[in-house]
Structure 1
Amino acid sequence: MKLDDINFDAKHIWHPYTSMTKPIPAYPIVRASGVELELADGRKLIDGMASWWAVIHGYNHPVLNQAATQQLKKMSHIMFGGITHPSATALCRQLIDITDDKLECIFLADSGSVAVEVALKMSLQYWQARGEARHQFIALQRGYHGDTFGAMSVCDPENSMHSLYHGYLPKNFFVQAPQCGFYQQWQAATLLPLQKLLTKKAEKIAAIIVEPIVQGAGGMRIYHPNYLTAVRELCDHYNILLIADEIATGFGRTGKLFAYQYSAITPDILCLGKALTGGYVTLSATLTSRHIADTISKGKAGCFMHGPTFMGNPLACAIADANITLLRNSPWQKWVKDIETQLMDELFPLRDQEKVTDVRVLGAIGVVEMKNSVNVPELQRNFVAEGVWIRPFGKLIYLMPPYIITAPQLTKLTQAIKKIVIKL
């Protein structure tokens, strides 16, 4: 990229969560391959972010490139209304096969936020079809489920990035996030806030929505699997639907193919996205049971009332199908376990640093939580100078690299964090 292009970008193009008057510098990437991003000046950065959880197999993968090329020769897009195509059916067969036999009805949409919107609308239509006025949801404090309005309504209204919209959003219920960490001894008392709320409001609740095991943008908190097990039991007891938002955690990131599997439960509705296409193009899926789908279909509308223009996009579906096949045929469990072990070995010593609150690791996720918020532009410059791409937020410096990363490449990432944390 030319300097003129970079200046144009800074003046005219919005980037995620940035100011137009004081934009955070955007680094010009001209190509990517494996786990490396190449800057316009030729420098290469080891990517520790997998492009926000998505690029699990690395960039420019020949298998996924081939899937995209082959599909492009047939058609890149076709409307899904009244039409189907082989890529959609192949993908959905795999999704049913790798999740749970009970989750056999699939809605293909175009982003993670929309997958959550679909899940919320499914819940509302389900209860409407049953003749019950259940219009509210329960979510966890510190939870994050996306940027569209329905999704924002189940994000923490006080501690999330959506507090500015307080008053415009539907009123839902929020309970204290699980206080018992993944590796700690289980404390049933962490359920008390949810239990107390349900005794008073259960008849109003359409569904409980959670990020299984790992709360992402709300603080990268990793909680005990027994909490999710207990939430499933409470949903069954009070006849409430359970929505599992696995947009960030799905497809092996936590060490299980899906994080809800740590608790050996099945959600009523499952939201998938991000790594679904290996980071190539945007696509999401919302899966639910035959019972819920049939109940919705017998309701007043006679159908589920949602239908994005790019629903079931053939190009995205073809890449997603190839991506899942690639994952299933790879030793991804070993890769993720090796990453987890190395992250523990190389990041846990930072717990002794005075300015560090905690270090957390699960699967291919490593988090260093600082006591104070970090200066993102400054740390970004320092990380780029170290030859790595790590994007902190708030008090968190974290890693979620592609699964194919090598041990030396991962060490370069952890050493860059160590060097910068010690300097802070």
Structure 2
Amino acid sequence: MQANDLAFDRRHIWHPYTSMTRPLPAYPVVSADGCELTLSDGRRLVDGMSSWWAAIHGYNHPVINQAMKDQIGRMSHVMFGGITHPPAVALCRRLVALTPAGLDCVFLADSGSVAVEVAIKMALQYWQARGEPRRELLALRQGYHGDTFGAMSVCDPDNSMHSLYQGYLPPHRFIEAPRRRFDDTWREGDDAPLAALLAAHHRTLAAVILEPIVQGAGGMRFYHPEYLRRARALCDRYGILLIADEIATGFGRTGEWFACNLAGISPDILCVGKALTGGALTLSATLTRRHVADTLSDGDAGCFMHGPTFMANPLACAAANASLSLLEDESWRPRVAAIAAGLSAGLLPLADHPRVRDVRVLGAIGVVETTQPVNMAALQRWFVDRGVWIRPFGKLIYLMPPYIISPPALAWLIDAITDALDSPTHFLS
């Protein structure tokens, strides 16, 4: 890229969560392969982000590339209204087989946020079809579910990037996030606030929505699997739908196919995205139980009232099928276990650093929570100069690398974080 391209970018192009008047630097990537990004000046960066947790097989994977090449020669897209096609059927067959038991009906959508929108609409229309219209959902504080309006309405209302929109969003109920850490000993009564709220309001709640085990962009917290088991049992007791948002955790990131598997539960509605296509193209899916699909379909509307233009895009479905084929031999399990071991060995000792509040590791996720917010521009520039791509936010410096990362490359990422902690210019006072 030329200097005038970067100047145009800075002046005219919006980047995620970035000011147009005070934009953060945007680093020009011209190619990507394996676990590395190549900048226009020839520098190569070890990617610790998997492109926001999606590129689990790394970049430019030959199996996914070939699947897309084969598909684009047949058709890149066709409307899904009144039409079906082999890539979509094959993908949905795989998803029904791989996801937790009982999730038999698949709705394919464009992105993770849209998958959450679909899940919320399913829950609301389900109760409307039952003749019991319900408008409230229950969500966890410190949760994050996406950037569209329905998804924002179930994100943490106060401590999130969406607090600006409070007053414009549909009101829902929130409960404190689970306090017991993933590796702590469960204590009876830890679910008491959830039990009390459901006992008091179960007649007005359409669903409970949560990120199973791992709360992502809302705080990168890992909570105890027993909380999820108790949430499932309470929803069963009161006849409330349970929505599991596995957009960040699905397809092996926690060491299991899905985070729900860590608790041995199955939700009523499941959202997946991000890694579904191995990061090649945008695609998501919302799966639900047969009785939910049948109930809302037999209501006054006669169908589920949603239909994206690019629903079940054949090219994206082909990429997803290829990605899932790479996972089906379970070779990702030892790779994720090795990443977990490397992250634990390299990051956990940082808990004693004076700038560190907490360190936590689960599967191929490693999080360093600092005592002060990071100076995003300064720290990002320093990481790039060190040859790594790590995108921190708030007080969190974290790694979610591709599953194929080598031990030396992982160590390089960890060393960069370790060294970054020693510079006061990387943090805001």
2:427 is matched with none
2:139 is matched with 139
2:157 is matched with 157
Q: How does 1:383-394 map to 2 (within 5 A)?
A: 383-394=383-394
C-alpha distance in 1 between matches for 2:258 and 2:182:
16
The question of 1:279 aligning with 2:279 is answered: yes
Q: How does 1:195-214 map to 2 (within 5 A)?
A: 195-214=195-214
Per-residue displacement from partner, 1:3-33 (whole Å, max 9, x unpaired)?
1101100000000000000000000000000
For the residue of structure 2 that corresponds to 1:397, the secondary structure is strand
Relative to structure 1, the CA distance from residue 297 to residue 404 in structure 2 (aligned partners, 3 Å threshold; closer, same or farther) is same
C-alpha distance in 2 between matches for 1:354 and 1:193:
34
C-alpha distance in 2 between matches for 1:198 and 1:62:
49
2:73 is matched with 73
2:218 is matched with 218
2:356 is matched with 356
C-alpha distance in 1 between matches for 2:189 and 2:384:
44
1:303 is matched with 303
For the residue of structure 2 that corresponds to 1:134, the secondary structure is coil
For the residue of structure 2 that corresponds to 1:422, the secondary structure is coil
1:229 is matched with 229
Paired AA for residue 164 in structure 1: L
1:345 is matched with 345
1:329 is matched with 329
Which sits farther off after the overlay, 282-291 or 191-200? 191-200
1:254 is matched with 254
For the residue of structure 1 that corresponds to 2:202, the secondary structure is helix
The question of 1:188 aligning with 2:188 is answered: yes
For the residue of structure 2 that corresponds to 1:74, the secondary structure is coil
Per-residue displacement from partner, 1:45-102 (whole Å, max 9, x unpaired)?
0000000010000000000000000000000000000000000000001001111341
The question of 1:370 aligning with 2:403 is answered: no
1:194 Cα deviation from its structure 2 partner? 1.3
C-alpha distance in 2 between matches for 1:20 and 1:122:
36
Q: Where do 5+ consecutive residues of structure 2 fail to align?
A: 425-429
1:86 is matched with 86
Paired AA for residue 372 in structure 1: Q
Per-residue displacement from partner, 1:313-343 (whole Å, max 9, x unpaired)?
0000011011001111251000000000010
Which sits farther off after the overlay, 134-143 or 193-202? 193-202
C-alpha distance in 2 between matches for 1:242 and 1:100:
13
Could you tell me whether the CA contact under 8 Å between 2:100 and 2:260 is conserved in 1?
Answer: no
Per-residue displacement from partner, 1:190-213 (whole Å, max 9, x unpaired)?
212212211211100000001000
C-alpha distance in 1 between matches for 2:72 and 2:10:
33
2:9 is matched with 9
For the residue of structure 2 that corresponds to 1:203, the secondary structure is coil
For the residue of structure 2 that corresponds to 1:115, the secondary structure is helix
TM-score, L = length of structure 2: 0.98
Could you tell me whether the CA contact under 8 Å between 2:340 and 2:362 is conserved in 1?
Answer: yes
Q: How does 1:93-112 map to 2 (within 5 A)?
A: 93-112=93-112
1:422 Cα deviation from its structure 2 partner? 2.3
Paired AA for residue 344 in structure 2: M
Which sits farther off after the overlay, 183-192 or 210-219? 183-192
1:187 Cα deviation from its structure 2 partner? 2.1
Paired AA for residue 117 in structure 1: E
Number of residue equivalences: 424
For the residue of structure 2 that corresponds to 1:138, the secondary structure is strand
Relative to structure 1, the CA distance from residue 372 to residue 189 in structure 2 (aligned partners, 3 Å threshold; closer, same or farther) is farther
The question of 1:41 aligning with 2:41 is answered: yes
C-alpha distance in 2 between matches for 1:379 and 1:310:
38
Q: Where do 5+ consecutive residues of structure 1 fail to align?
A: none
1:240 is matched with 240
For the residue of structure 1 that corresponds to 2:422, the secondary structure is helix
C-alpha distance in 1 between matches for 2:163 and 2:423:
32
Which sits farther off after the overlay, 15-24 or 180-189? 180-189
C-alpha distance in 1 between matches for 2:65 and 2:107:
25
Paired AA for residue 306 in structure 1: H
Q: How does 1:304-319 map to 2 (within 5 A)?
A: 304-319=304-319
For the residue of structure 1 that corresponds to 2:189, the secondary structure is helix
For the residue of structure 1 that corresponds to 2:52, the secondary structure is helix
1:423 Cα deviation from its structure 2 partner? 2.3
C-alpha distance in 1 between matches for 2:405 and 2:228:
30
Per-residue displacement from partner, 1:371-404 (whole Å, max 9, x unpaired)?
1111011100110011000000000000000000
Paired AA for residue 300 in structure 2: K
C-alpha distance in 2 between matches for 1:299 and 1:24:
49
1:22 is matched with 22
1:178 is matched with 178
Paired AA for residue 2 in structure 1: Q
Paired AA for residue 88 in structure 1: A
Paired AA for residue 184 in structure 1: D
1:133 Cα deviation from its structure 2 partner? 2.2
| RMSD of Structure 2 on Structure 1 (CA) | 0.7
Paired AA for residue 268 in structure 1: D
For the residue of structure 1 that corresponds to 2:419, the secondary structure is helix
1:422 is matched with 422
1:168 is matched with 168
C-alpha distance in 2 between matches for 1:7 and 1:404:
35
2:400 is matched with 400
C-alpha distance in 2 between matches for 1:169 and 1:304:
23
Identity of aligned residues (%): 64
C-alpha distance in 1 between matches for 2:322 and 2:66:
9
For the residue of structure 2 that corresponds to 1:190, the secondary structure is coil
1:188 Cα deviation from its structure 2 partner? 2.9
Could you tell me whether the CA contact under 8 Å between 2:101 and 2:266 is conserved in 1?
Answer: no
